[in-house]
Amino acid sequence: MARDDVEARTSKKYVRTFIFSMKTGTPIEKLHVITKFFMIAAMSVLALYMFDIPVLKGDIPIVKGGPDIIGLIFLLTIVFVLLIISGTTKYLANSYLLLALPVPISEFIWWLFLNGGLPGAKEAFYLWPGFFPIGISTVVLVGIFGVVYYRTKSVVIAVIPAVLLWWLTIMAGAFDFSPLATWFKLSIGATYSFMLPSWSPYVALSKALGFAVLIYTSFLFLLTTRDTEIAGAMRQLGLSFKKAFFIALIFRSLNTLLIDYENIRIAQTARAAGVNRKNVFSKIIDLAYVSIPLVATMIRRSTEMGVALYARGFEASKKVTSFKETKGITYMDVTVIAILSIFLIYEVILGHTINHLFIR
Amino acid sequence: MPVFEVKDFWWKYRSFVGVENPYTLKGLSFTVEKGEFLGIIGPSGSGKTTLCYALTGIIPKVFTVPYGQEKEHIKGEIKLFGQTLTKLDKVKDEKTGNMVDKVVGMKQTAPRVGLLLQDPENQFLRMDLLHEISFGMELLGLSEGEIESRAKEALELVGLGPLWPIADLVHPSELSGGQKQRAAIASFIALRPEILILDEPTSNLDPEGKLGIIQAIDNIKKEYDITIILVEHNPEVIQKYADKVLAINDGQAIAYGTTEQVYSQCKLFDENGLYSSDIARIGWKAGLSYNGRVPFTVDEMLKSFDGRKQKSLASNLEDDPIDQSSQEIISVKDLNFSYEDGTQALRGVTFSIRQGECVGLIGQNGAGKSTVSKIISGLYKKFQGEAKVNGMDLRDPKVVQKIPCYVGYVFQNPDNQIFMRKVYDEVAYGLKNLKTPQQEVDQRVKEALKSVGLLSKIDEDPMFLGKGEKRRLTVASILAMNPKIMIVDEPTTGQDFRMSEDIMNLLEELNKAATTILAITHDMTLVSEHTKRVIVMHNGTVLYDGSTRGFFSNEELLDKADIIPPMAARFSLEYKKKNPSSPNLINVKEWVTALK
């Protein structure tokens, strides 16, 4: 490649993906889409195994070894590292973070408080230790509130995660309020505790982490995969050019559909759709009204696309050349698949956990 | 031998709603020689696109005729390179052995004939630039090396050469409309067509995009001596490049010949609502002549100017744009705005607009016109700086929620704004959102429809209205809400001359009735004829805010803003070089008045 071409290529910092864009030149960009797909599938299977409920004999887990918290943290860390190096975290934080949080949080609450059928002897868990600890938990409270408020300028939105994490920190320290973690204790209220099966917190945490892995792995796939890669992969798997093309055309049409939808919603706002408060039913009707111009536009577009295809000679084509449609499998793909396979064998087939490498 | 021979060709689309369609093409006959540049002109709905489809075989291969009804839908013949492309012929039915009417002809015209459509979005079929260019070549089964070299060459020819190294990384959403159209041209050029048909390729584009397309067409004509058939409204383009012109209206040819022969028929143009250049209209109405016909260009006008004295209009022309005592209704100060991807669209924009003004908001694509308009109409919320409408601060979310009561926004594409299946319901939609009492809704809907000339269509389905009617319907829908300010985005794009005049006259009427109008447009003729004040945006800032006349008379500013003034204003600028005391006339009406 000529020097100017190399410079032009490196100057393009981002490339468009299914949703948003990713940084070019990163390891995740170089992976084949089949590898990414295997990665999603493998991490999902691992997460499902890692947040499984332990089978106990007495108090000791047998067979599976219980929820693999460290393994899940390890998986989540990998996912976030990949998201960070692909340059997508800012977009993810701005657009989907709040949407993605309710599932892990609700899983945690359900498995912690509402599922009495978990194994283990009942133990006391403190909801409130009877004092307000000034220490690391306070730093977490103030820090999280400050960061979220700075981003959102909303007290309500900032308070929720700040209080939640502050409370979790207190809960975590409820068993050991060492001078390192708690510098001062302000007596407030009485001690509130409740009896829960001993495995509850671990199972609850593992469920939350497990679902977080599933959600953010899916985001990783959508944020770092280009639509052209899907079409190319289908060709590599033996699908004919025309079939692969039409599947790719669906993605292209979705792209224009989203643009049209956005334009139509703006036009609706301009016609005072948001001026007066509407009940849920009216809002659903408003959404339904979008379908009229949207369908009309899509019909017009699909007619013209049909004409454009005919004009390119699509109908009469017999022997079709595959020009840079596919991407080769590299050593990086093989390495990633190998590592994940080993991980799968270790966890799923042999039934071991990463937890047990660190905690006996 | 001509490349195209069209002989008495008739075409009727098949009907799907039970009502018989009229013939769209009625007995067209013409020829196109090899290497010729044929311009096709005509008002909206005249059959230009249908003709393009017929010349590429899309009619009747894609738009088919019902079996057994061929005689009612198609007549005549089209020949391509001496062979039958489309013809109704008697053929022996294999099953019955009877002679039946059947449409015969070539199965495929690609790659010898290419067709570029109007909407760039619908022709970009792949997910990156490289595969878009190579698509046709892949279908032809060319070798990979051949595909690569042709693709690179094609991109260079259309001015997209710098994108070659990153062509596989460029997503269609990263390209402007003009770039998409040039990519589509490149994809055809790579196929080495002998004929290229372009159906209004520049109508959806900004001036820079238009220029790029025309330049690309010129390049390929010179490079490959391709036969070009161009459907275009802009008379300057046709006059500059076309060898012959075919003017059609209501499916029939109304004029056919060289550009001189056709464009000198000013009366015919006027009667049929066709665009003729500012210069031709001035020449025709003022009785000027160049070589026995009306002048077409600024140079010809200068030569035909027989030095007749102009009336002293100077004292009437340099008028104040607006009565300064009227209340300020829009005010923006130090407005800054960035999109999600980090692009800064507005940098410190400051201007104010008074009640009753009609202001043109102009500038290149990406200058910030739509962005500032959408902030004023409450559609974009996260901005820095100050923006007020009717004294209300747009930083207050409660104010933004109620802004549609004060500011009406008419978008460029009517199809995106029609939500209902009845014209009445469409106009009533906004009023119902404002919780207007039913009696008042009835009254205001009828008044609005009457003012746009659509009262007779009150029970019709908006989907079946014509292009111009849909545009008027969207104006009526906003009008019914009685906004104090109306923002219109590209009101005349894709419209023919008559429709454009109708829309602009309507807006003028509204302005006279005290509605403040802010018109976002690339049409400088429209700006010169209907606005007294312009705000010129450039790279997210306000480059000029003042009288339209002042702007179109200042060559330095025009250069800086990258704006080509209307022909009438260009003529003024040229004329003033030799006659510095002459007034700055900027539109056809002023020149005609001055020359009478």
The sign of the torsion formed by the CA atoms of B126, B132, B136, B142 equals negative
DSSP letter (8 states) at residue B158: T
SS3 B542: strand
Q: What secondary structure does DSSP assign to A245-306, as a single string? A: HHHHHHHHHHHHHHHHHHHHHHHHHHTTTTTS---HHHHHHHHHHHHHHHHHHHHHHHHHHH
Contacts of A305 in chain B (CB under 8 A): 122-123, 125
Distance CA(B280)–CA(B298), nearest Å, equals 10
Contacts of B130 in chain A (CB under 8 A): 324
Contacts of B140 in chain A (CB under 8 A): 313, 317, 321
Nearest-neighbour CA in chain B from A328: distance (Å): 15
- Determine whether the interchain pair B131/A297 forms a contact, defined as Cβ–Cβ distance below 8 Å: no
Write down the pLDDT at residue B317: 56
ipTM computed for the complex: 0.83
Among A14, A307, A319, pick the best mutation site for testing chain B contact (most B Cβ within 10 A): A307
Q: What residue of B is the nearest CA neighbor of A94?
A: B340
Distance CA(B244)–CA(B574), nearest Å, equals 29
Write down the pLDDT at residue A325: 83
- Residue B433: which of A228, A272, A325 has the nearest Cβ? A272
Measuring CA to CA, how many Å separate B89 from each of B16, B92, B417?
25, 10, 45
- Determine whether the interchain pair A293/B415 forms a contact, defined as Cβ–Cβ distance below 8 Å: yes
- Residue B122: which of A94, A305, A314 has the nearest Cβ? A305
CB B575 within 8 A of CB B302: yes
Contacts of A309 in chain B (CB under 8 A): 125
Q: What residue of A is the nearest CA neighbor of B405?
A: A272
Write down the pLDDT at residue A189: 83
Write down the pLDDT at residue B307: 63
- Determine whether the interchain pair A307/B137 forms a contact, defined as Cβ–Cβ distance below 8 Å: no
Q: What is the pLDDT of residues B162-212, one digit of tens each?
A: 999 999 989 888 888 788 888 888 998 899 899 999 998 887 777 777 878
- Residue B136: which of A263, A313, A318 has the nearest Cβ? A313
Q: What is the pLDDT of residues A190-204, one digit of tens each?
A: 888 777 787 787 888
Whether omega before B60 lies within 30 degrees of 0, making that bond cis, reads: yes
Write down the pLDDT at residue B408: 93
Contacts of A8 in chain B (CB under 8 A): 162, 165-166
Measuring CA to CA, how many Å separate B23 from each of A46, A47, B13, B77?
66, 65, 7, 15
Nearest-neighbour CA in chain A from B28: distance (Å): 22
Residue A216 tokens read as: 């953010």
Distance CA(A347)–CA(B3), nearest Å, equals 71
- Determine whether the interchain pair B415/A297 forms a contact, defined as Cβ–Cβ distance below 8 Å: yes
- Determine whether the interchain pair B379/A296 forms a contact, defined as Cβ–Cβ distance below 8 Å: no
CB B501 within 8 A of CB B492: no
- Residue A323: which of B134, B172, B173 has the nearest Cβ? B134
SS3 B192: coil
Nearest-neighbour CA in chain B from A298: distance (Å): 10
Nearest CA-CA partner of A168 in A197, A199, A136:
A136
Confidence of residue A164 (pLDDT cuts 50, 70, 90): confident
- Determine whether the interchain pair B481/A4 forms a contact, defined as Cβ–Cβ distance below 8 Å: no
Task: Answer left, alpha or beta for residue B490, where phi above 0 means left and psi between -120 and 50 means alpha.
Answer: left
Write down the pLDDT at residue A175: 47
Contacts of B420 in chain A (CB under 8 A): 289, 292
Q: What is the pLDDT of residues A75-124, one digit of tens each?
A: 989 998 888 888 887 777 666 766 777 888 888 888 887 776 777 777 77
Contacts of A315 in chain B (CB under 8 A): 61, 107-108
Write down the pLDDT at residue A360: 53
- Residue A301: which of B122, B419, B429 has the nearest Cβ? B122
Nearest-neighbour CA in chain A from B12: distance (Å): 18
- Determine whether the interchain pair B477/A312 forms a contact, defined as Cβ–Cβ distance below 8 Å: no
Residues 6+ apart with CB under 8 A from B511: B356, B358, B517
- Determine whether the interchain pair B125/A252 forms a contact, defined as Cβ–Cβ distance below 8 Å: yes
Question: Exposed/middle/buried for B42, CB within 10 Å: 0-12, 13-18, 19+?
Answer: buried
Contacts of A16 in chain B (CB under 8 A): 171, 173-174
Among B49, B341, B419, pick the best mutation site for testing chain A contact (most A Cβ within 10 A): B419
Residue B296 tokens read as: 């077409």
Write down the pLDDT at residue B145: 94
Nearest-neighbour CA in chain B from A285: distance (Å): 11
Nearest-neighbour CA in chain A from B528: distance (Å): 28
- Residue B463: which of A94, A248, A296 has the nearest Cβ? A296
Distance CA(B587)–CA(B570), nearest Å, equals 10
- Residue B122: which of A304, A312, A320 has the nearest Cβ? A304
Write down the pLDDT at residue B256: 95
Write down the pLDDT at residue A92: 72
- Determine whether the interchain pair B401/A274 forms a contact, defined as Cβ–Cβ distance below 8 Å: yes
Nearest-neighbour CA in chain A from B562: distance (Å): 27
- Determine whether the interchain pair A292/B419 forms a contact, defined as Cβ–Cβ distance below 8 Å: yes
Q: What residue of B is the nearest CA neighbor of A252?
A: B127
- Determine whether the interchain pair A276/B166 forms a contact, defined as Cβ–Cβ distance below 8 Å: no
DSSP letter (8 states) at residue A111: I
Contacts of B421 in chain A (CB under 8 A): 292
Q: A with B: how many residue pairs have Cβ under 8 Å apart?
A: 202
- The mean pLDDT of chain A is 82
Q: In degrees, to the nearest 5, what angle opens at C-alpha B568 toward C-alphas B562 and B569? A: 45
Residues 6+ apart with CB under 8 A from B96: none
Q: What residue of A is the nearest CA neighbor of B50?
A: A307
Contacts of A248 in chain B (CB under 8 A): 126-127
- Determine whether the interchain pair A249/B125 forms a contact, defined as Cβ–Cβ distance below 8 Å: yes
Pick the more confident residue, B469 or A55. Answer: B469
Q: What is the pLDDT of residues A239-287, one digit of tens each?
A: 888 888 888 888 888 888 888 888 888 888 889 888 887 788 888 888 8
Q: What residue of A is the nearest CA neighbor of B415?
A: A293
The answer to whether residue A63 scores a pLDDT higher than 60 is no
Distance CA(B546)–CA(B433), nearest Å, equals 37
Q: What residues form DSSP beta bridges with B506?
A: none
Residue B193 tokens read as: 């067509």
Pick the more confident residue, A162 or A9. Answer: A162
CB B137 within 8 A of CB B191: yes
Distance CA(B77)–CA(B4), nearest Å, equals 10
- Determine whether the interchain pair B430/A297 forms a contact, defined as Cβ–Cβ distance below 8 Å: no
Q: What residue of A is the nearest CA neighbor of B137?
A: A321
Q: Which residues of chain B have pLDDT under 70?
A: 306-324, 341
CB A205 within 8 A of CB A69: yes
The sign of the torsion formed by the CA atoms of B584, B495, B178, B373 equals positive
Nearest-neighbour CA in chain A from B452: distance (Å): 18
- Determine whether the interchain pair A304/B119 forms a contact, defined as Cβ–Cβ distance below 8 Å: yes
- Determine whether the interchain pair A292/B418 forms a contact, defined as Cβ–Cβ distance below 8 Å: yes
The sign of the torsion formed by the CA atoms of B592, B593, B595, B596 equals positive
- Determine whether the interchain pair B136/A5 forms a contact, defined as Cβ–Cβ distance below 8 Å: no
Residue B562 tokens read as: 């990258």
Contacts of B433 in chain A (CB under 8 A): 271-273, 275-276
Helix axes A241-270, A227-236, angle to 10 degrees: 160
Percent of chain B with pLDDT over 70: 96
Contacts of B121 in chain A (CB under 8 A): 256, 259, 301
Q: What is the pLDDT of residues B47-68, one digit of tens each?
A: 999 999 999 999 998 898 888 8
Distance CA(A149)–CA(A154), nearest Å, equals 6
Q: What residues form DSSP beta bridges with B31?
A: B5
